[in-house]
Structure 1
Amino acid sequence: MTSSHPRPTSIRIFLADGTPEGLRIVEKSNWTGRAVVANRSQLEGAMKRSEMAQPGVYVLTGQTEEGAAKLYVGEADSLGDRIKQHVSGKEFWTRAIAFTSTNEGLNKANVRYLESRLLSMAKTANQWAVDNTAYPSAPPLNEADRADAEWFLAEMLVIFPLLGIDAFEAASSQAAASSSEPVEPPLTLYLNERGAEGTGREVADGFVVLKGSLARVEETLSIHDYMREQRQLLQARGVLAPQNGKLIFTQDFRFSSPSTAAGVLVGGSANGRLAWKDADGKTLKAIQDERLSDV
Structure 2
Amino acid sequence: MHQVQPRPTSIRIFLADGTPEGLRVIEKSNWTGRAVVANRSQFERALARSEMAQPGVYVLTGLTEEGASKLYVGEADVLGERIKQHVSGKEFWTRTVAFTSTNEGLNKANVRYLESRLLTLAKTANQWALDNGTFPAPPPLSEADRADAEWFLAEMLVIFPLLGIDAFESATNQAATTQTEKAEAPLALYLNERGAEGTGKEVADGFVVLKGSQARAEETVSIHDYMREQRQLLQERGVLAPLDGKLVFTQDFRFSSPSTAAGVLVGGASNGRIAWKDASGKTLKAIQDARLAKV
**TM-score of the pair, normalised by structure 2:** 0.98
Work out the CA distance in 1 between the residues paired with 2:106 and 2:187: 42
Identity rate, percent: 83
Asked whether the equivalents of residues 171 and 253 of structure 1 are also in contact (C-alpha less than 8 Å), the reply is yes
> Mapping of 1:37-186 within 5 angstroms?
37-178=37-178, 181-183=181-183
Structure 1, unaligned stretches of length 5 or more? Answer: none
Q: Secondary structure at the match of 1:115?
A: helix
Deviations 1:78-123 (A, max 9, x none): 0000000000000000000000000000000000000000000000
Work out the CA distance in 2 between the residues paired with 1:19 and 1:225: 35
Match of 2:244 in 1: 244
Asked whether the equivalents of residues 58 and 97 of structure 1 are also in contact (C-alpha less than 8 Å), the reply is yes
Asked whether the equivalents of residues 179 and 187 of structure 2 are also in contact (C-alpha less than 8 Å), the reply is no
Q: Secondary structure at the match of 2:212?
A: coil
Asked whether the equivalents of residues 3 and 154 of structure 1 are also in contact (C-alpha less than 8 Å), the reply is no
Count of aligned pairs between the two proteins: 295
Match of 2:225 in 1: 225
Asked whether the equivalents of residues 121 and 169 of structure 2 are also in contact (C-alpha less than 8 Å), the reply is yes
Asked whether the equivalents of residues 186 and 278 of structure 2 are also in contact (C-alpha less than 8 Å), the reply is no
Asked whether the equivalents of residues 2 and 154 of structure 1 are also in contact (C-alpha less than 8 Å), the reply is no
Superposition CA RMSD, Å: 1.1
Q: Secondary structure at the match of 1:176?
A: helix
Work out the CA distance in 2 between the residues paired with 1:141 and 1:188: 42
Work out the CA distance in 1 between the residues paired with 2:198 and 2:183: 25
Deviations 1:112-157 (A, max 9, x none): 0000000000000000000000000000000000000000000000
Q: Secondary structure at the match of 2:13?
A: strand
Work out the CA distance in 2 between the residues paired with 1:106 and 1:186: 44
Q: Secondary structure at the match of 1:281?
A: coil
Work out the CA distance in 2 between the residues paired with 1:163 and 1:241: 31
Q: Which runs of 4+ in 1 moved over 3 A?
A: 179-186
Work out the CA distance in 1 between the residues paired with 2:151 and 2:195: 46
Match of 1:211 in 2: 211
Q: Secondary structure at the match of 1:177?
A: helix
Q: Which amino acid aligns with 1:67?
A: G
Work out the CA distance in 2 between the residues paired with 1:62 and 1:105: 29
Q: Secondary structure at the match of 1:44?
A: helix
Match of 2:12 in 1: 12
Match of 1:284 in 2: 284
Deviations 1:28-87 (A, max 9, x none): 000000000000000111000000000000000000000000000000000000000000
Structure 2, unaligned stretches of length 5 or more? Answer: none
Q: CA deviation at 1:4?
A: 2.6
Match of 1:271 in 2: 271
Work out the CA distance in 2 between the residues paired with 1:267 and 1:134: 33
Q: CA deviation at 1:176?
A: 1.2
Work out the CA distance in 1 between the residues paired with 2:92 and 2:11: 29
Q: Which amino acid aligns with 1:200?
A: G
**TM-score of the pair, normalised by structure 1:** 0.98
Work out the CA distance in 2 between the residues paired with 1:131 and 1:201: 29
